């Protein structure tokens, strides 16, 4: 467990009335995500920007769209690829599997703000 996660666990235990709950339940009660979910959220937001908005041109180099008629989940599936060590491409390896599991309403959001709100709802349902 990383130091930041230990600090998060310790600090949420100090809140009166929540000390008897598990760490996940304390975070849920406080409306917070674990550090792992926050990292994933940041990666998915960056992927949205690369694929849909601000960095769309660069996104064409980073991500490959999967050609498939199976649109279960969302219609904007990505293909996992193999990359040589290139720091910019690490995000693609971390995010593709999660991106493909997102619902269409998150992936096809009209703006980044709408996507963030829908993504938060989807992530809060993850265990």
* Residue of 77, 125, 124 whose CA lies nearest to 104: 77
Q: What's the whole-number mean pLDDT along residues 38-55? A: 83
Q: How far is Cα of residue 100 from the mean position of the Cα atoms in its chain?
A: 11
Which residues, other chains included, contact 4 with Cβ-Cβ below 8 Å and sequence gap of 6+? Answer: 35
Question: How far is residue 73's CA from residue 106's CA, in Å, rounded to a whole number?
Answer: 10
Question: How far is residue 34's CA from residue 22's CA, in Å, rounded to a whole number?
Answer: 12
Domain edges within the chain: 1-32, 33-124
Task: Note the pLDDT tens digit of each residue in 84-116.
Answer: 555 455 666 778 888 888 888 888 899 999 999
Q: How far is Cα of residue 24 from the mean position of the Cα atoms in its chain?
A: 17
């Amino acid at each position: 467990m990383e130091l930041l996660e230990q600090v998060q666990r310790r600090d949420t235990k100090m809140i009166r009335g929540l000390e008897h709950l598990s760490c996940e339940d304390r975070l849920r009660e406080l409306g917070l995500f674990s550090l792992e979910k926050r990292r994933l959220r940041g990666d998915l937001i960056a992927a949205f920007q690369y694929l849909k908005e601000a960095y769309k041109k660069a996104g064409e180099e980073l991500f490959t769209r999967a050609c498939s008629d199976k649109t279960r989940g969302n219609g904007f599936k990505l293909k996992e690829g193999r990359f040589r060590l290139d720091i910019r491409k690490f995000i693609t390896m971390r995010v593709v599997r999660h991106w493909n599991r997102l619902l269409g309403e998150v992936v096809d959001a009209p703006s980044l703000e709408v996507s963030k709100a829908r993504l938060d709802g989807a992530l809060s349902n993850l265990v």
